[in-house]
């Protein structure tokens, strides 16, 4: 697999967002400032609660198919490889990892069978778009931790996707879960979310390496990042963490992450979370505490290592 130096771009956007000129300008800026070669777009599916069976992906809360197609075409025109990662979220704010049902069907209770039918419809819709537009990769979901033990359903889903899409198929498991997925053999690539503490990279990479060796598959981090908030380098997975602005701490986290990872030849890339479609002005970067790296010291760190690791491949 060709090395991935990527970003997730403008995720979970609402209908009409990709029609704005700022979106295309931001994509150009990302390529110019960081030198990426890979982009993940994130179509959104929404269910009311973690126990809801129906997933909606056709409302105004999700980008329209035509918007996706147009931006995919533009991305490819400027030399970017494209992946689609259709991702489910809960309207009530519960993290998708907690979507869960009884393991055995019970009358009058929500069921895995009904949910997987809706989830399959959602994934196949975007698999067809990925096929039509020549996307390099389809990532069949993200961080669905409580569902991952449903091995038969996931194997069936991957098989169904392959009937309509002929590119690379994978699934983005969550941090600390790489060794718990038993069905990596049915996808082409293993990938996960790499939100690991700054001082724990060697330990976690040792664990992940055993999984990669067992299944003999390529591996990349489909999400990876840290907020520029004081203390976030110790808990980069905590989206709600509050604290003072810490631009250098974010940069230090990226440096530590890259230094640990570039020594592992089995790691085939990174997709940073995330690059916005509409940026704050550069003079406000020093007061921004989120995951974004635009105009922050971390942006230069990422560009440095992206250039370094690609040249070394």
State pLDDT tens for residues 118-147. 999 999 999 999 999 999 999 999 999 999
Given pLDDT bands bounded at 50, 70 and 90, which one contains residue 240? very high
Helix (H) or strand (E) holding 226: none
> What total of structural domains would you count in the chain?
1
Q: Say which residue the tokens 């230069």 belong to.
A: 300
Residue 82 CB burial class (10 angstroms; 0-12, 13-18, ≥19):
buried
Please choose, from the candidates 256, 224, 231, 225, the residue with its C-alpha nearest in 3D space to the C-alpha of residue 246. 231
pTM of the shown model: 0.97
Largest CA distance in the chain: 58
Q: Residue 285 sits in which domain range?
A: 4-312
pLDDT for 308: 87
- Chain mean pLDDT for the chain: 97
**Residue 229: pLDDT above 80?**
yes
All residues at 6 or more sequence positions from 21 whose CB lies less than 8 Å from its CB, including other chains: none
> At 197, which CATH number?
3.20.20.80
Distance between start and end Cα atoms, the chain? 11
pLDDT at residue 158 is higher than 90: yes
Q: Using the predicted structure, report yes or no on whether residue 312 has a pLDDT greater than 60.
A: no
Q: What is the pLDDT of residue 311?
A: 46
Q: Where residue 310 falls among pLDDT bands split at 50, 70, 90?
A: low
Does the pLDDT of residue 220 top 60, yes or no? Answer: yes
For position 313, what pLDDT does the model report? 47
Residue pLDDT, tens place only, 91-100: 999 999 999 9
> What percent of the chain shows pLDDT beyond 70?
98
pLDDT tens-place string over residues 46-80: 999 999 999 999 999 999 999 999 999 999 999 99
Residue 294 has pLDDT above 70, yes or no: yes
């Amino acid at each position: 697999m060709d090395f991935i130096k990527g970003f997730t771009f403008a995720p979970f956007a609402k209908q009409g967002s990709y029609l704005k000129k700022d979106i295309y300008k931001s994509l150009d800026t990302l390529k110019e400032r960081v030198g990426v070669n890979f982009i993940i777009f994130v179509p959104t599916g929404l269910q009311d609660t973690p126990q809801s069976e129906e997933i909606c992906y056709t409302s105004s809360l999700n980008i329209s198919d035509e918007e996706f197609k147009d931006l995919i075409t533009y991305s490819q025109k400027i030399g970017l490889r494209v992946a689609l990662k259709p991702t489910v979220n809960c309207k009530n704010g519960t993290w998708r990892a907690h979507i869960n049902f009884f393991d055995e069907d019970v009358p009058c209770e929500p069921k895995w069978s009904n949910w997987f039918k809706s989830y399959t419809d959602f994934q196949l819709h975007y698999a067809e778009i990925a096929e039509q537009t020549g996307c390099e990769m389809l990532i069949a979901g993200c961080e669905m931790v409580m569902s991952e033990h449903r091995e038969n359903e996931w194997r069936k889903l991957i098989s169904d996707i392959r009937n309509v899409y002929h590119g690379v198929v994978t699934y983005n498991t969550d941090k600390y879960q790489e060794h718990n997925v038993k069905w990596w053999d049915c996808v082409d690539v293993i990938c996960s979310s790499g939100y690991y503490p700054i001082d724990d990279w060697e330990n976690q990479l040792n664990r992940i390496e055993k999984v990669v060796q067992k299944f003999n598959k390529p591996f990349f981090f489909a999400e990876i990042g840290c907020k520029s908030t004081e203390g976030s380098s110790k808990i980069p997975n905590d989206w709600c963490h509050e604290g003072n602005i810490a631009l250098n701490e974010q940069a230090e986290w990226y440096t530590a992450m890259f230094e640990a990872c570039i020594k592992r030849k089995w790691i085939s890339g990174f997709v940073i979370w995330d690059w916005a479609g509409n940026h704050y002005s550069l003079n406000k970067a020093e007061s921004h505490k989120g995951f974004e790296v635009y105009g922050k010291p971390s942006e230069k760190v990422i560009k440095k290592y992206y250039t370094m690791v690609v040249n070394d491949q």
